[in-house]
Amino acid sequence: MTRTTLRDMTSIPPPADELRLIDHELARLDARRAQLLARRAWLVSVLQQSAPPAARAWNGPAPTPRPRETAPLGVQNVLLVLGGILLAIGAIAFTVVSWGSMGIGGRSAVLATITLGALALPAVLLRRGLSSTAEAIAAVGLLLTVLDAYALHTAALPDTDPISYAAVACAVLAALWTAYGLFLQDLHLPLPAGVATAQLPLLLWWAASDAGPHLLSAALLVTSAAATAAALRLTRLAVRATAGAGAATTGMVGLLTATGLAFTAETPAAAAEAAAHLLCAAAIALYPAWRTPRTELATGAAAVAALAVLVATAGVLRAALPDDWSVVAELLCAAALLTLVRSSLPRPVRLGVAGTSAAAGALVLAWTLPAIGTSVLGAAEQLHAVWSGAAGRKATPGADGFAVMTALLIVAVTLWGAYRLGAGRAWRVHAAAGTTAALWAALAVLPLSLHLSRPAELAAHLSVAALALAVAVHAARRTPRTDTGERPEPEASQAPPDAKTATGTGTGPATGTRMGTARAVSVTALACFYASALTASLLALATEGATLTALGVLLALTVAATALHPTGARQSTLAVTAVAAAAGLALALPFALELPAHRAAFALLVIPAATAVLGARLRAKPYALPVELAGAATAPLALGLTATHTPALSLALALTGVIASGTALRADRRPLAAYTAGALFLLATWVRLAASEITTPEAYTLPVTVPALAIGLLRRRRDAEASSWTAYGPGLAVTLLPSLAAAWGDEHWLRPLLLGSAALLVTLLGARHRLQAPLTLGGVTLALVALHELAPYAVQVVGALPRWLPPAAAAILLLTLGATYEQRLRNARRLRELVGRMH
């Protein structure tokens, strides 16, 4: 070691001394900053005091800097993205609209020049450090290559088969984009775009060849194999994610296609060919399971492979069974696989087997969905013939109803077994909920499978709804009340905390699992109740008596369930349902008596009035507010029924205002209800004026506006804190809004001129006195009047411009601003780094 090095090392102070020096310097800088801030505050106060009083009153206090709402990088990205989108839209519009007005030479020259420029410009921008701008320009360049391919087909190869040409074009574009991304490796878009486009050529080639589904399955599986290999070999995260997504998508579609071939095979040879495709899919799924170190991916791949093997076996064996019952046999095979879950196989394999069984069960459930949907929603055809007699019900489509019921019962038994054997497992809760849903689905399919008459079917669905509601309430009452802070009481046969029994009667996690199970069963059963109630309601539309009976039964059930259900969100939901059933009765009774719609609306207004009274009586109940809101939601429906009869609409608005006024008597509802009542009374007045065919509303509104503004002025003088909306808003709205509506339908110039002048005056007064209500109401009115007057001329000007010119001009402007913004940020970063390197 030299002497110079030793001397330099001995000159460095110890760490403790250097730390004290740094702390001392930082303290000195903080003290100096505090002095400068105090001096600045004094100077600002001196400047404010030296300004004239009028200027201070008009300009207000000195403005303080506000925090930026958007980061500079976010502004840059928004500008660049919008610029790229608009430029792409302009290019597409130019190619599609203006293409035919140019010759072949001009077309080629324009597109070639723009494309080459867009592809070459990112290299220059990257050398200057403008990576974001380069990314946006590169995206536009990639889009232009697609337009080049489209233009080449349109101009030079119009007789070529479009699908075949698209296949070749996708292959060429994929290779071009991949090479471009490898050449400019700092760009993030070209390589993923090339990998994504590479998923299309084989599929398009199959579409052009008019081949059968076997070739489609082969094309999908080959594409999936290539994408899988690429995903395992490539290094970039975005490219690997794109390749992985393509492999998963094409692989799953290929697997589904081969599954369809297996299920539709009519001969053993066809079934064997489909099984070969499925085994290839299994091999493709097992390849990443061998190569990847991630347990999750290995488990998923093993599950897909096991599913493919299971479907291949089922496809070969299904030739000996009818179509519907073969599905039941396949479900039994999937259930048999669950026995391997408790074996000594490695954990990823056991998880894959469980996933396979779940997927098979899901497919069988998907097969049962048409039958369940027809049983539940098939009665919707009665909506086209309300109260005109029972329409013919269709049987379960495409499947034997009893086979569907058997499959659902097998699912229920399998889930029940999983629930019994899954003590301490989190999925035990889902197994209990699934058991409840499967049993309900089997019961829902039964009436249609037995071909019952319409009254018997209605009674059956009402019975199922009542049973589901009873299960929901019973399970909810078994759930301990933990939401109010109460601890669940221990059971008499409870074991010590360290003794977790298989039945879940212990404390700790077992108690939590039991609570979760009861809650899940309650929620599932409640959803099943709503499904059966919907079916019963649709079936009841056949006759007036059936409708009134079904709504009455549902009202009684929901009221009883609301009273018996523990406090919670589900109780509020049941209470709202009871209000809906009552509203249905209130609407059905007048129509059953053959009253017109505008008269039936007043019977419906009984519901919001009753719920308002009921909410006041039940204000201590948690469901009081939902009941009031549900009742208030029926008021717009009642107003809608009177829309075609303006006198009735005016009266309905006034009655609704009376209901809101009564609600405003309560202190907890007063502000919102009072404003609502005022608005409703004002609307009732305007509708009454319209019903009386008043064409000059100012004659009735100005006498109200003048005293209202005078009262507002007096209030503002007495209470300086009063809002301008409270003081002047109602008075201005009484005249401006009706006059604005009249001006839009007035073809003469006098009313718009007077209204615009008044609105301008109100806007200027609001700006002068800094009042929000006059400024907003006057400004909005003035803008709408100006829009009404200038709209025809604006339409003519816009129609004279080319469609692609405005977005293209806006795109160029945004891209220029984005590049400038990025350059300024880059200069700022360089300056900050330079200052940071200074001593």
Which two tokens mark 766?
């609001």
Of 37-41, 185-189, 345-349, 354-358, the range with the lowest mean pLDDT is: 345-349
Q: How far is CA 465 from CA 392, 473, 529, 836, in A?
A: 22, 12, 5, 73
Q: Is 410 among the domain residues?
A: yes
Query: Vertex 255, ends 172 and 224: CA angle to 5°?
Result: 30
Q: Which residues contact 465 (CB under 8 A, 6 or more apart)?
A: 529, 532, 533, 536, 554, 557
Q: Is 403 among the domain residues?
A: yes
Residue 494 has a pLDDT of: 37
Mean pLDDT comparison of 148-162, 346-360, 602-616, 775-789, highest-scoring range: 602-616
Q: In the chain, what are the helix, strand and coil shares in percent, each to the nearest 5?
A: 80, 0, 20
Q: Is 248 among the domain residues?
A: no
Residue 838: band (very low, low, confident or very high) from pLDDT cuts 50, 70, 90: low
Residue 454: band (very low, low, confident or very high) from pLDDT cuts 50, 70, 90: confident
At 36-80, the pLDDT tens digits run 887 888 787 777 666 555 444 444 444 544 444 444 555 555 555
Residue 574 has a pLDDT of: 92
8 A C-beta contact, residue 511 and residue 488: yes
Q: How far is CA 141 from CA 121, 131, 187, 232, in A?
A: 9, 15, 12, 29
8 A C-beta contact, residue 298 and residue 373: no
Residue 795: band (very low, low, confident or very high) from pLDDT cuts 50, 70, 90: low
Residue 10: band (very low, low, confident or very high) from pLDDT cuts 50, 70, 90: very low
Q: Is 425 among the domain residues?
A: yes
Q: What is the DSSP letter of 67?
A: P
Which two tokens mark 672?
């919102």
DSSP string, 142-163: HHHHHHHHHHHHHHT-TTS-HH
Q: What is the mean pLDDT of residues 791-799?
A: 63
What distance in Å separates the CA atoms of residue 318 and residue 266, rounded to the nearest whole number? 10
Q: Is 324 among the domain residues?
A: no
| Higher-confidence position of 258 and 153 | 258
Q: Alpha carbon 452 to chain centroid distance?
A: 40
Three-state DSSP class for residue 766: helix
Residue 27 has a pLDDT of: 80
Q: Given CA atoms 577, 581, 587, 591 in this order, what sign does their dihedral have?
A: positive
Count CA within 13 A, CB hemisphere, residue 559.
Answer: 9
8 A C-beta contact, residue 534 and residue 376: yes
8 A C-beta contact, residue 447 and residue 375: yes
Q: Is the pLDDT reported for residue 4 higher than 50?
A: no
Query: What are residue 278's phi and psi, to 5 degrees?
Result: -65, -35
Residue 492 has a pLDDT of: 35
Q: Is the pLDDT reported for residue 782 higher than 80?
A: yes
How many helices (H) and strands (E) the chain has is answered by 32, 0
Residue 534 has a pLDDT of: 93
Place of tokens 């079917």: 457
Q: Nearest CA to 645 among 696, 599, 695?
A: 599
At 614-646, the pLDDT tens digits run 888 887 788 888 998 999 899 989 898 888 888
Q: What is the DSSP letter of 399?
A: S
Q: Is 422 among the domain residues?
A: yes
At 463-473, the pLDDT tens digits run 999 999 999 99
Residue 551: band (very low, low, confident or very high) from pLDDT cuts 50, 70, 90: very high
Three-state DSSP class for residue 136: helix
Q: Is 388 among the domain residues?
A: yes
What distance in Å separates the CA atoms of residue 565 and residue 550, rounded to the nearest whole number? 22
Q: What is the mean pLDDT of residues 131-144?
A: 79
What distance in Å separates the CA atoms of residue 569 and residue 571, rounded to the nearest whole number? 5
Q: Is the pLDDT reported for residue 418 higher than 70?
A: yes
| Higher-confidence position of 834 and 488 | 834
Residue 443: band (very low, low, confident or very high) from pLDDT cuts 50, 70, 90: very high
Of 22-31, 244-253, 494-503, 634-643, the range with the lowest mean pLDDT is: 494-503
| Higher-confidence position of 235 and 486 | 235
Q: Is 407 among the domain residues?
A: yes
Distance separating the N- and C-terminal Cα atoms of the chain: 28
Residue 104 has a pLDDT of: 53
Domain extent for 393: 333-480+511-542
Residue 744: band (very low, low, confident or very high) from pLDDT cuts 50, 70, 90: confident
Amino acid letter at 44?
V
8 A C-beta contact, residue 576 and residue 627: yes
Residue 470 has a pLDDT of: 93
Q: Nearest CA to 305 among 329, 330, 288, 319?
A: 288
Q: Nearest CA to 254 among 269, 276, 270?
A: 276
Q: What percent of the chain has pLDDT over 90?
A: 8
Task: Please state, as a whole number, how many other Cβ atoms lie within 10 Å of the Cβ of residue 788.
Answer: 17
Of 240-254, 363-377, 665-679, the range with the lowest mean pLDDT is: 665-679
Amino acid letter at 684?
A
Residue 524 has a pLDDT of: 93
At 521-544, the pLDDT tens digits run 899 999 999 999 999 998 888 888
Q: Is the pLDDT reported for residue 421 higher than 70?
A: yes
Query: What are residue 729's phi and psi, to 5 degrees?
Result: -60, -50
What stretches of 234-344 show up as alpha helix (H) in DSSP? 237-264, 268-291, 295-317, 323-337
Q: Is the pLDDT reported for residue 819 higher than 80?
A: no
Question: How many structural domains does the chain have?
Answer: 1
Q: Which residues contact 198 (CB under 8 A, 6 or more apart)?
A: 170, 171, 174, 178, 226, 227, 246
**What mean pLDDT value characterizes the chain?**
77
Residue 507 has a pLDDT of: 45
pTM for the model: 0.55
Residue 761 has a pLDDT of: 87
